[in-house]
Structure 1
Amino acid sequence: MNDWSSIQGHEQIKNDLRQLLAEKRLPHALLFTGIEGIGKNLTANVLAKVLFCSGEKEKPCNNCSSCRAFDAKNHPDFYCLEPEGKANNIKIEQIRQMQSQIALSPYLADKRVVIINDAETMNEAAENSLLKTLEEPTGDVVFILVTANKDLLLPTILSRCMKLYFAPLSEDEIKIILKSKYAVNEDKATVIAKLSGGSMKRAISFLDDDNFNLCQNAMDFLSKDLNAKDIWQISDEFSAMDKAKIKQWADFLQMIIRDLLLLQAGADDNLLYNRDKKDVLDKLIVNFSLNRLFNCQNLIENLVKRLSSNADLKLMMQDFMLSWREQK
């Protein structure tokens, strides 16, 4: 049963939402933005549950019919949209189906709530269709758009939403969750919290040894002097992976590049994500000028953005590898 206490950190956002609710000033459309895995979706669900709750005191009460229905994942006034299909995006058909549902009066509560997860994956037709709905609010529907990349959304959609930025979780907050919920020991929790980049989702992924291998793969990639054979071989390997894994690999690359930038600046070793691999970083830094590091950082950021598109994965990776080889 989720409630406000389930949300780790983000005290200011929780207080702001509670105040808006108390003053009955909650807008019809909100945008929760911030990196992946920091509690945006959980907060959206808690807010939806609060809006549905018919309890007379602290909300959510977890006892009323609405709270029970929401916890059982069958609340009739709740609608959640997520990317679907091979393209892993949100299509206009999904938006239209949602629109037909919210056109009906609420059944159990006095509002309907629509959560759109990974809102940046809406295709153009879906965005334009949603925009028309946001421009003509009915008063009994609340939209919560959740995204890790708001810049991929139409400016007109952004302008219709109240934007709430979720900052990355602190290392201490990550450690507390790892130790209390996942029984991770202090030493391992410290390392994972450092690698997590403030994302609980990423921290949890490190409990899987396969993801540690991805991190090592990223370190090995930075050590390579790519030739044509490497480019085609690596591109083939990545084209067989799902985009989430490639995104994670790219995140690891970003962390290593950040560490190398810190080393270039003479920063304290305690600031490094990969401080347990300081000896490897010391060897890598010899091959990376400051200009090359910034160029590589831009390439990785561009790759992450393109992973949200429908571009051919193999061609995308080949283009990335070729551009990477040109950075000297």
Structure 2
Amino acid sequence: MSDFDQEQYQASVFLELTHIIQTNKIPNALLFSGNDNTGRKKAAFFFVKGCNCLANAPIACNACKSCLKIEAQSHPDVLCIDLQKDKKIISISQIREMGLTISSRPNEARFRMVLILNADLMNNQAQNALLKLLEEPPEKTFFILIANKTSLLLSTIISRCRKIKFKPLNDKLIEQYLINNFNIDRPFARIASRTADSDIKKAMMYSNLDDDENKTDWIKRRQWLINTLAGIITTETSDCISKTLMLSQKLSLNPDLMDDTIAIMKTFFRDLMIFKVHPKKIVNLDFFDTFADINRMVRSNKFLEWTKNLYETEKRLASNCSLRLTLDRFFLKIVTNKGNGVYD
């Protein structure tokens, strides 16, 4: 969605930030939580522009020297920290380097901003280094932390931040956006929007709207993965262990696709749980007969257990456990806990 749409959708957030600017009570740190692509980075630059606008308008004028530099991301007092290329964590060295930079006074800004993207991906050492800076922040400097999973942040960091939550985009809003702007068929727009977990860019990628020719065809990958998972569940235990390990091996060969793979698996196991109660509300309606077959064969109490195991697997992967071993562990739990033969 366009930045304008994001600003309109998150109107309450932008009003709160405007109020902070107008009262000139700038917090030492703010924590922007929520999903990807909900306007959090735009809000950070909206805020720093408002704090430093030379026109002294109620909100940033977007025309003065300060606003133009910030908009062009060339302002010397706006620092951005993010994952370095091919890295999965923000390291202590990045935080220490930033600390040295802000140890001196700002160059020209009234308020200097340190923006930490993916703040929840700081390792413990980096978080502890940041905590020291938050405890004794440099003069005229504020921090904005953008995080998807605030549970991964130290409670002491969270307690020092003013918390601002960005609401997720509505599934139906994303679905209609795909239909109106890209002529995506409604059934698949529905699947893509619900699998993307309120992330419009992921929904577009799932609809094969990404311009990158190297991207894997997500539509085909989804069909293959759901068929494979269904096959493992409906096959006798003695016959499917090798298939399970082969699946684990194949998935582990593409670590960059793991987040999207987990997203598909979440919808699959969610659909298993709700099928008996609300069969028409499953995400993967094109696999309706498959879910009907599995529900006839397997006791429903297993579905909740498998779903819990999947979320535990996601946590393990987020903490940098071995991809292959973690997947082996998850799939073997399904095989060994589904019992032998047909249920009910």
Judge conservation of contact 1:40–1:166 (CA < 8 Å) in 2.
Answer: yes
For 1:103-252, what aligned pairs fall within 5 Å after superposition?
103-175=103-175, 177-178=177-178, 182-185=181-184, 187=186, 189-208=189-208, 210-225=217-232, 227-243=240-256, 245-252=257-264
Counterpart residue identity of residue 267, structure 1? H
> TM-score when scaled to structure 1?
0.87
Judge conservation of contact 2:90–2:122 (CA < 8 Å) in 1.
Answer: yes
Judge conservation of contact 2:196–2:263 (CA < 8 Å) in 1.
Answer: no
Judge conservation of contact 2:3–2:42 (CA < 8 Å) in 1.
Answer: no
Query: Shift in Å at residue 3 of structure 1?
Result: 6.7
Farther-moved stretch of structure 1 (159-168 vs 122-131): 159-168
CA RMSD of superposed structures (Å) = 2.6
Query: Shift in Å at residue 81 of structure 1?
Result: 1.3
In the alignment, what sits opposite 1:254?
A: 266
Judge conservation of contact 2:241–2:335 (CA < 8 Å) in 1.
Answer: no
- Distance of aligned partners of 1:223 and 1:51 in 2 relative to their CA distance in 1, 3 Å threshold: same
Judge conservation of contact 1:222–1:284 (CA < 8 Å) in 2.
Answer: no
Judge conservation of contact 1:4–1:14 (CA < 8 Å) in 2.
Answer: no
In the alignment, what sits opposite 1:18?
A: 18
**Larger-Rg structure:** 2
Distance 1:237 1:147 in 2: 30
In the alignment, what sits opposite 1:303?
A: 313
Query: Shift in Å at residue 252 of structure 1?
Result: 1.4
Judge conservation of contact 2:271–2:283 (CA < 8 Å) in 1.
Answer: yes
Distance 1:170 1:56 in 2: 36
Distance 2:265 2:310 in 1: 8
Query: Shift in Å at residue 87 of structure 1?
Result: 4.6
- Distance of aligned partners of 1:26 and 1:213 in 2 relative to their CA distance in 1, 3 Å threshold: farther
- Distance of aligned partners of 1:274 and 1:80 in 2 relative to their CA distance in 1, 3 Å threshold: same
> TM-score when scaled to structure 2?
0.83
- Distance of aligned partners of 1:58 and 1:74 in 2 relative to their CA distance in 1, 3 Å threshold: same
Query: Shift in Å at residue 119 of structure 1?
Result: 1.3
Query: Shift in Å at residue 24 of structure 1?
Result: 2.4
Judge conservation of contact 1:32–1:147 (CA < 8 Å) in 2.
Answer: yes
1:260-301 CA distance string (max 9 Å, x none):
32223x2262x3322343233323333443321111111211
Counterpart residue identity of residue 248, structure 1? D
Higher relative contact order (CA 8 A, sep 6+): 1
- Distance of aligned partners of 1:59 and 1:3 in 2 relative to their CA distance in 1, 3 Å threshold: farther
In the alignment, what sits opposite 1:34?
A: 34
Secondary structure at the aligned position of 2:275 is classed as: helix
Query: Shift in Å at residue 257 of structure 1?
Result: 2.0
1:65-92 CA distance string (max 9 Å, x none):
2222223222211111112355510100
In the alignment, what sits opposite 2:293?
A: 283
Distance 2:279 2:244 in 1: 35
Query: Shift in Å at residue 63 of structure 1?
Result: 1.7
In the alignment, what sits opposite 1:60?
A: 60
